[in-house]
């Protein structure tokens, strides 16, 4: 019987095993995860779940019985120690699991604040896993003081939740502006104004020098020399692909596990998908840290293991919820030289162009702008910037142009 082992029980791993079964694979499937919980959604962790608006069971991607019902062996609380490529087996949980095809869906790990500056004290958190959020939740009490380190989307989402829970919030970003790595100044300005309107003390161009306290954090010294009392610190300073297992096995790794357009690694029997995979895209190599990419790439890998031979071409899109604003992003803005603002009042969108070519759209409470922009990008169409900028013009006819 053919055996497929999937390492990593996150969105990509769960999507891969489900697609294998739905596509008719009848061999043995084993899904291995380090966490105690069955595969679950990560985005609601730091939002609806942390706010008490979503029960634990609603986080699960599928009912717990799904895996047994579909003859998928689910190994939780299990770390994979090594990949033996010669004998084609995975060493996990004290046993050797043979495979014909192996899928690495190991995801990513959050960067943590260095222990040398107090990053290992109590009250210092990251936002990635169910355990991270469960450990954080008791400290998020009204009137307590939270320091958010990092002004990317994770940091901004954490700031929004902390304010909703009645905390005093300061957010620091070492770069010149929040969202500098991922968004235009126009989008940074929009979210800076949004958070300040909700009472967040945003400080840009300011880093963290050290945290103070004994066993638990009590204060922070910033790079501008100021000192502030804090009760909790949340680090949103990025993630790194989880590649240690692949590196130890001798697979090609460069900003992630290098895969071809089919999702295959440098070993023809090993595949990778999700945050950990570095894939070809428009003549370059990228990693896409998004739920939709994890799903789509993992499903493509499943079909290719079964012989589909299809090339995976990502259609990047992302989202973020902060207060009453839903941000939806279509495309990748890398290389833009112009931003066109479409201001419809409550609905607002920022359109990224390189020359005359539309690259990406940031849509804030503007689902129509997002939908049209996404479809235009996927179709390779670029509307005239002056048309986009006119908020009184209906965008939908652009799809037929």
13 within 8 A of 298, measured Cβ to Cβ? yes
3-class state of residue 93 by DSSP: coil
Is 112-235 a CATH 3.60.9.10 domain? no
Query: Do 112-235 and 324-400 fold alike per CATH?
Result: no
CATH number of the structural domain 324-400: 3.30.390.30
Confidence of residue 47 (pLDDT cuts 50, 70, 90): confident
Cβ-based burial of 152 (10 A; exposed 0-12, middle 13-18, buried ≥19): buried
Q: Is 90 exceeded by the pLDDT of residue 354?
A: yes
Torsion of CA 207, 179, 54, 162, to 10 degrees: 40
Sole residue written with tokens 């279509």: 330
- 195 closest CA partner among 174, 171, 219: 171
Sole residue written with tokens 């986009």: 388
Confidence of residue 400 (pLDDT cuts 50, 70, 90): confident
In whole angstroms, what separates CA 216 from the centre of its chain?
29
The DSSP secondary-structure symbol of 310 reads P
**pLDDT tens-digit profile of 300-352?**
999 999 999 999 999 889 999 999 999 999 999 999 999 999 999 999 999 99
Out of 1.10.150.530, 3.60.15.10, 3.50.50.60, 3.90.930.12, which CATH number does the structure's domain 3-109+239-305 have? 3.50.50.60
The mean pLDDT value for 264-278 works out to 98
Every domain of the chain and the residues it spans? 3-109+239-305, 112-235, 324-400
Q: Residue 319 has which token pair? A: 């989202």
Q: How far apart are CA 14 and CA 67, in angstroms?
A: 10
**Which pLDDT value is given to residue 282?**
87
Predicted TM-score of the model (pTM): 0.94
Q: Are strands 284-286 and 338-344 parallel, antiparallel or unpaired?
A: unpaired
Q: How far apart are CA 388 and CA 146, in angstroms?
A: 40
**pLDDT tens-digit profile of 191-237?**
999 999 999 999 999 999 999 999 999 999 999 999 999 999 999 99
């Amino acid at each position: 019987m053919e055996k497929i082992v999937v390492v990593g029980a996150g969105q990509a791993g769960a999507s891969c095993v489900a697609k294998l079964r739905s596509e008719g694979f009848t061999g043995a499937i084993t899904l291995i995860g380090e966490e105690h919980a069955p595969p679950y959604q990560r985005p609601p962790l730091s939002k609806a779940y942390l706010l008490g608006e979503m029960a634990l069971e609603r986080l699960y991607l599928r009912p717990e019985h799904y895996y047994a019902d579909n003859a998928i062996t689910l190994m939780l609380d299990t770390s994979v120690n090594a990949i033996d490529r010669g004998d084609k087996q995975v060493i996990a949980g004290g046993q050797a699991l043979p495979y014909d095809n192996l899928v690495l869906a190991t995801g990513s790990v959050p960067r943590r604040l260095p222990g040398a500056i107090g990053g290992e004290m109590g009250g210092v958190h990251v936002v990635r896993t169910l355990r991270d959020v469960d450990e954080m939740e008791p400290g998020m009490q009204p009137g307590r003081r939270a320091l958010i380190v990092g002004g990317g989307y994770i940091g901004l989402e954490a700031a929004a939740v902390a304010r909703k829970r009645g905390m005093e919030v300061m957010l620091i970003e070492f770069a010149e502006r929040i969202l500098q790595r991922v968004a235009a100044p126009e989008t940074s300005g929009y979210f800076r104004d949004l958070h300040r309107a909700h009472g967040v003390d945003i400080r840009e161009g300011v880093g963290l020098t050290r945290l103070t306290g004994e066993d638990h954090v009590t204060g922070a010294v910033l790079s501008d020399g100021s000192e502030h009392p804090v009760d909790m610190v949340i680090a949103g300073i990025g993630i790194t692909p989880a590649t240690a297992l692949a590196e130890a096995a001798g697979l090609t790794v460069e900003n992630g596990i290098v895969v071809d357009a089919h999702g295959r690694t440098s070993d023809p029997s090993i595949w990778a998908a999700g945050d950990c995979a570095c894939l070809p895209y428009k003549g370059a190599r990228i990693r896409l840290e998004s739920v939709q990419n994890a799903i789509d790439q993992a499903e493509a890998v499943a079909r290719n293991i079964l012989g589909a031979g299809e090339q995976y071409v990502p259609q990047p899109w992302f989202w973020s919820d902060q207060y009453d604003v839903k941000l939806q992003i279509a495309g990748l803005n890398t290389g833009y030289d112009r931003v066109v603002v479409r201001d419809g009042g409550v609905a607002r969108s920022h359109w990224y162009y390189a020359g005359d070519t539309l690259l990406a759209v940031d849509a804030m409470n503007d689902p129509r702008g997002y939908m049209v922009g996404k479809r235009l990008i996927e179709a390779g169409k670029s509307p005239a910037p002056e048309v986009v900028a006119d908020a009184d013009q209906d965008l939908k006819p652009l799809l037929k142009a």
